Amino acid sequence: MKVRVITAIIIGMILVAAMAVAEQNTVAEQNTVAEQNKGAKDMELFGGTKGIVPFPHHTHQETLKDCNVCHEAFPQAPGSIEKLKAEGKLKKKQVMNKQCVKCHKEKKKAGEKTGPTSCSKCHQKKADG
Ligand code: HEC
Ligand code: HEC
Ligand code: HEC
């Protein structure tokens, strides 16, 4: 009789532990999904007097595989480039020259798929002004 009670208690404890682990796993999965917030698929970046710069964000993620080629210079948050420029932590055109144009030129030189390198191919004036 005593053995049965102890066995029942042990099984009960194992079940509780297993449920706790299962619970933890769901939380972990949710965290992973949250951590992989890839941001907007396409965006328009502020380009000053030259006009806005349409930027295919997810195409770059898929082609380059590494978030940090860009995000080492600015955080994964909307408007972070303009915020850092306003704080004087990024120079005007720094991202453009040190990242966008630099990489596109390097890829072009290497004969690989690349993006635009001329002003008007990146900067676009809005149709309505
Ligand atoms: C080729 C450059 C580049 C790469 C690579 C890149 N990003 Fe971004 N990302 C940007 C730019 C530019 C912005 C806009 C920043 C701004 O608004 O000032 C941005 C903004 C974001 C934002 C905030 C905007 C939003 O829509 O929520 C998130 C989140 C983000 N990126 C996640 C990622 C993740 C995750 C990866 C890797 C899988 C990645 N990015 C790779 C350039 C890049
Ligand atoms: C590959 C795309 C690309 C090309 C090519 C490009 N730009 Fe840009 N430009 C950007 C991006 C992205 C920004 C915003 C980020 C930054 O300021 O670094 C920007 C910002 C700017 C700004 C505004 C800076 C500010 O903060 O006021 C000016 C002006 C500008 N570019 C002029 C030019 C001129 C002139 C050329 C051609 C010689 C050129 N751009 C070519 C992408 C590009
Ligand atoms: C580390 C390299 C790298 C950086 C940094 C980078 N690009 Fe690109 N970009 C590429 C490559 C590679 C392609 C070609 C992608 C493809 O076709 O799969 C591309 C393509 C593009 C295209 C053309 C997309 C199309 O549909 O034809 C645009 C526009 C562009 N990039 C803008 C930008 C802007 C703006 C920035 C800076 C905010 C930037 N890129 C930063 C590598 C880079």
| Total domains in the fold of the chain | 2
CATH code at position 71:
3.90.10.10
How many whole angstroms separate alpha carbon 31 and alpha carbon 45? 29
62: left (phi over 0), alpha (psi -120 to 50) or beta: alpha
Does position 93 have pLDDT exceeding 60, yes or no? yes
- Are residues 28 and 63 part of one domain? no
Q: Which domain holds residue 94?
A: 42-122
How many whole angstroms separate alpha carbon 100 and alpha carbon 41? 17
Atom of ligand 3 nearest to the CA of 63: 18
Mean local confidence (pLDDT), 92-119: 98
- Are residues 30 and 46 part of one domain? no
Residue 88 structure tokens:
């004087």
Confidence class for position 8, pLDDT limits 50, 70, 90: confident
Nearest CA to ligand 3 atom 37: 100
List the binding residues for heme c: 57, 60, 67, 70-71, 100, 103-104, 119, 122-123
Asked, for residue 79, whether it belongs to a domain, the answer is: yes
Asked, for residue 129, whether it belongs to a domain, the answer is: no
Give the pLDDT score at 13.
75
Is 27 strand, coil or helix? Answer: helix
- Are residues 106 and 86 part of one domain? yes
- Are residues 83 and 47 part of one domain? yes
How many whole angstroms separate alpha carbon 124 and alpha carbon 100? 16
- Are residues 116 and 70 part of one domain? yes
DSSP-derived secondary structure letter, 89: S
pLDDT in tens, 24-51: 555 544 444 446 799 999 999 999 999 9
Range of lowest pLDDT (35-49, 55-69, 85-99): 35-49
- C-alpha distance from residue 57 to each of 14, 38, 50, 66 (Å): 47, 9, 20, 12
Confidence class for position 7, pLDDT limits 50, 70, 90: confident
- Are residues 79 and 62 part of one domain? yes
CB 41 within 8 A of CB 58: yes
- Are residues 82 and 67 part of one domain? yes
Nearest CA to ligand 3 atom 1: 103
CB 95 within 8 A of CB 74: yes
Out of 17-26, 29-38, 58-67, the most confident range is: 58-67
| pTM: predicted TM-score of the whole model, two decimal places | 0.86
Asked, for residue 128, whether it belongs to a domain, the answer is: no
Give the pLDDT score at 26.
52
